[in-house]
Amino acid sequence: MTRLLIFFVLTLLLPIPALSQQALIESGPIVSPENLKTGAVTFRLLAKNADSVQINGDFLPTEKRKTEFGEIDVPVTANLSKDENGVWSFTSGPLESELYGYSFLVDGVVTTDPNNPFLIRDVSTVTNTFLIGNGQADLYRVQDVPHGTVAHRWYDSPGLNMDRRLTVYTPPGYENSTEKYPVLYLLHGAGGDEKAWLELGRSVQIMDNLIARGSAKPMIVVMPNGNVIQDAAPGEGKEGFYKPEFMVAKTMDGTYEATFMDVIRFVEDNYRVRAQKADRAIAGLSMGGFHAMHISRYYPDTFDYVGLFSAALIPREDATKKVYSNLDETLRIQKENAYKLYWIAIGETDFLYQSNVEFRKKLDSIGMKYEYKESEGGHIWRNWRIYLSEFVPRLF
């Protein structure tokens, strides 16, 4: 017993990295967020010396705010109440099943919740996250079902003269089979990268759960990086750690679309795929929807399935390259080559709503068939996760 005690004391005296010490000290009894049986959620923060604490999250009511992108819906902040121990708290109303994000404002300074280690990055903003189940968000949970495999792969892009990274999901059983699979190319929005659909979009959980339910066919999902000046997501490539930007150079000037076959060639050379038009789909959100629309018409006999999620179909001054020429003519060629599904979805308060109206008028004018979904809400990940979960079962 004495030897054991001495060993224990010596262990405590050994140097411990500062962050490990901090983790030991800060792992207190405060629970935040706490999901209540009513469907409400309580948030707590210990801040004895703070004069005010507020919370901002996508579960709160929204208000209209004018921005450089037009009028958009922005969540309002809510005030927390302080108890005698210096713990601030706020309890929401009952929440629908969804994946939510939030952050605190302590005396006006934005900070994350130290009692919630689950974080996501959207462009350069980091927020905590929590999930309310028993509904739509059950698709976003890791369920007790067969799981696919996620790999970050580097591929040679001759068109961009660099090695680049993309994310690939292979369905359950891929490694142990000889079967060939169809492919969905899933594109992110402005400020995103090859990790966006994986982390913010819960694409892997959605795919696993839809396949397990029998609602979707097993398929490979390829999530490339659409920022052509990057080799990989910030912090993951040769440029090291730097602050991510919302719009980097050359993202919507035609370079990505013109070199997209580099991605397809890598996938078809390295994975067991059915390399036919009928077995390829392309979809994207916002900027990725812009890319998906132009890639599918620039290579008009390549994809049988196209999905535009809140697509950024607005005119751009830098859209001057060959990729963007003869829009009407190439759309007609795409129509004449035939396809199985052209799917457009957008929120009714999305700042890109009107540009999507105008694009649908163009499709109507040339007799190009499409399916259209209009949902509540604006330019938000909540919509894009739902769109993916409804689009994927329509494929192949």
Q: How far apart are CA 356 and CA 345, in angstroms?
A: 9
Q: What is the strand order of the sheet 81-82 is part of?
A: 34-35, 41-46, 87-91, 81-82
Six-digit token string for 235: 């912090």
pTM tops 0.75, yes or no? yes
Angle at 24 between CA 20 and CA 27, to 5 degrees: 125
**Containing domain of residue 375, as a range?**
141-394
Residue 260, domain CATH: 3.40.50.1820
How large is the angle between the packed helices 203-213 and 381-391, nearest 10 degrees? 30
Look up residue 230 and give its amino acid: Q
Six-digit token string for 268: 């078809």
> Which of 64, 99, 134 is the endpoint of a domain?
134
Same domain, 65 and 183: no
Same domain, 166 and 195: yes
Q: Is residue 20 part of a domain?
A: no
Q: Residues with Cβ < 8 Å from 339, sequence gap 6 or more?
A: 303, 304, 305, 306
What mean pLDDT value characterizes the chain?
Answer: 92
> Which of 134, 151, 174 is the endpoint of a domain?
134
More confident residue, 364 or 68: 364
Confidence check: pLDDT of 52 > 50: yes
- DSSP line for 58-94: TTS-EEEEEETTEEEEEEPEEE-EE-TTSEEEEE---
Enclosing H/E stretch for 375: strand 371-375
DSSP symbol at 322:
G
Total of domains in the chain: 2
For residue range 76-125, list pLDDT tens digits in order.
Answer: 899 999 999 999 999 999 999 999 999 999 999 999 999 999 999 999 99
Residue 38, domain CATH: 2.60.40.10
Q: Residues with Cβ < 8 Å from 222, sequence gap 6 or more?
A: 166, 167, 168, 169, 183, 184, 185, 186, 263, 267
